[in-house]
Amino acid sequence: MSKVEPTLERLIFNLNTLAELGEEITSPKAFPRIIKSSLYMVMGSFLASKGAIFRYDQAKRIIYPIASKGFGDIKELTIKLSEEVVKEFVRSNNPVKMIDNEQAVKMLGPARAELEKLGTRVIAPLVVKDELLGFITINEKFSKDEYTNYDYQLLSIMAQHIAFSIYNHSLLLKLVHKYNENRRLYDELRCSYYDTIHAFAAAIDAKDAYTKGHSHRVSAYCAAMAREMGWSEDEIEGIRIAGLLHDIGKIAIDKSIINKASPLTKNECRELNSHPVIGYEILSKIKFPWNGIPRVTRSHHERLDGNGYPDRLKKDDIPMGARIMALADAFDAMTTDRPYRPRLSFVEAVEEVKENFGRQFDPHVVRWFFSVIRKEILGDVEHPSIIPLLQERLDRVTINRILKDIP
């Protein structure tokens, strides 16, 4: 191995190359581009005719090229390494001369012949934390000069830089894999969670032959109003779930009472009106990822004037989510057939809401609700969620006439 000392110009050049290499491997560029640029810098530093960077697959115990220059297409090349070879390279962690070198024979074994076919003159292991990540191989210099001690020292430093780049990329791949795995599990759990909630909603609606789909419509109306009011996506999702579950307490109410066509007795009315409290008791035992669902469902029959139930709350004492739900629940009840009366038309339902403006319904919520409807009719909403659920066709002229005097 030659011991020729480098000139001052060569030292400065190599210092600059190391600085550029450090900048390259920490850049946000795509990993293949970083590795290829790093190889070119290595080859340029030694004026090597050919070179490659190999990556080590620990599971298969093979190395394969991830960047090369001067060999043509060697993408499919794989070289098997024994466990002893890997341990020896990790132990020594120094570049190895391939020609007339007993150490190379001992360290590489059968792999040496494969590398010699490529014309490899020097092989530098890429090692981080006692883990072999791959190799840098370079062929003879264009000048035919021998590699010097200084060359080996410089190559060792460059190899360390590149090894850390590969190591960090490996960590990133593991993190991405773990994230994707966790995301898949989360999505599966979320689907299961929503399936359970929808099953509850279906069970609730099944008790009332006249209100099939009521919970889903109330859920859609609530979400549309909350979005119009500028709520966050998490808050919107919370009230959407609350809408699906708002009548869960009816599971405990006798079906004959729910579907009774004639006026309810005082006891029957008391039993039916207990469903918000029953629902609250059921839902308060569940840990939801959204705040306030049990309280909102308990209060969705409260009125601003204090004449609602079960707690006779007034005005701001009623949670905003419950005020939204109170309008959604009542509006859907008005516009669907019930045992005791046929559905109201949209115009009739709007007049009913106007009549109870500020007494049963929150004026701000009413304005937001009809703002959504107006926008959906005018085509200002990409995915309408209220109009498609109504059982009649509406046009902008009718909507403007009906809604023009909303207080």
**DSSP 8-class letter at 251:** G
Q: Per-residue pLDDT averaged across 365-372, rounded? A: 90
Q: Name residue, tokens 């370079």.
A: 138
pLDDT band for position 330 (cuts 50, 70, 90): very high
Per-residue CA distances from 366 to 38, 77, 114, 243, 344 (Å): 64, 70, 79, 17, 18
Amino acid residing at 363: P
Q: Per-residue pLDDT averaged across 292-320, rounded? A: 93
Predicted local confidence at residue 362, as pLDDT: 93
pLDDT band for position 406 (cuts 50, 70, 90): low
Residue 93 region by backbone torsions, left for phi larger than 0, else alpha for psi between -120 and 50, else beta: left
pLDDT at 394 over 80: no
pTM value > 0.75: no
* Displacement of CA 24 from its chain's centroid (Å): 30
Domain ranges of the chain: 8-173, 187-403
pLDDT at 26 over 70: no
Reported as a single tens digit per residue, the pLDDT across 149-184 is 888 888 888 888 888 888 888 888 888 888 888 888
More confident residue, 65 or 403: 65
Predicted local confidence at residue 107, as pLDDT: 73
pLDDT at 306 over 60: yes
Q: How many CB atoms lie within 10 A of CB 358?
A: 12
- CA–CA distance, 118 with 200 (Å, rounded to integer): 67
Q: What are φ and ψ of residue 237, in 5° steps?
A: -65, -40
pLDDT at 84 over 60: yes
**Residue 308 burial (10 A CB sphere; 0-12, 13-18, 19+):** buried
- CA–CA distance, 274 with 250 (Å, rounded to integer): 8
Q: Are 264 and 257 in contact (CB under 8 A)?
A: yes
- CA–CA distance, 236 with 244 (Å, rounded to integer): 13
CATH code of the region 8-173: 3.30.450.40
Predicted local confidence at residue 202, as pLDDT: 79
pLDDT band for position 313 (cuts 50, 70, 90): very high
Q: How many CB atoms lie within 10 A of CB 213?
A: 14
pLDDT at 118 over 60: yes
pLDDT band for position 55 (cuts 50, 70, 90): very high
pLDDT band for position 341 (cuts 50, 70, 90): confident
pLDDT at 187 over 90: no
* Displacement of CA 46 from its chain's centroid (Å): 46
| Assigned architecture for domain 187-403 | Orthogonal Bundle (1.10)
pLDDT at 105 over 70: no
Predicted local confidence at residue 9, as pLDDT: 59
Per-residue CA distances from 79 to 56, 76, 116 (Å): 9, 10, 12
Q: Nearest-CA neighbor of 221 among 367, 360, 369?
A: 369
Q: Per-residue pLDDT averaged across 12-29, rounded? A: 58
pLDDT band for position 7 (cuts 50, 70, 90): low
- CA–CA distance, 325 with 244 (Å, rounded to integer): 11
Reported as a single tens digit per residue, the pLDDT across 212-253 is 788 889 999 999 999 999 999 999 999 999 999 999 888 888
HSE at residue 261, side-chain half, CA atoms within 13 A, is 6
Q: Is the dihedral of CA 364, 366, 367, 368 positive or negative?
A: positive
Q: Read off the tokens for 63.
A: 């190395």
Q: What percent of the chain has pLDDT over 70?
A: 89
Question: Average model confidence (pLDDT) for the chain?
Answer: 84
**DSSP 8-class letter at 190:** H
pLDDT at 28 over 70: no
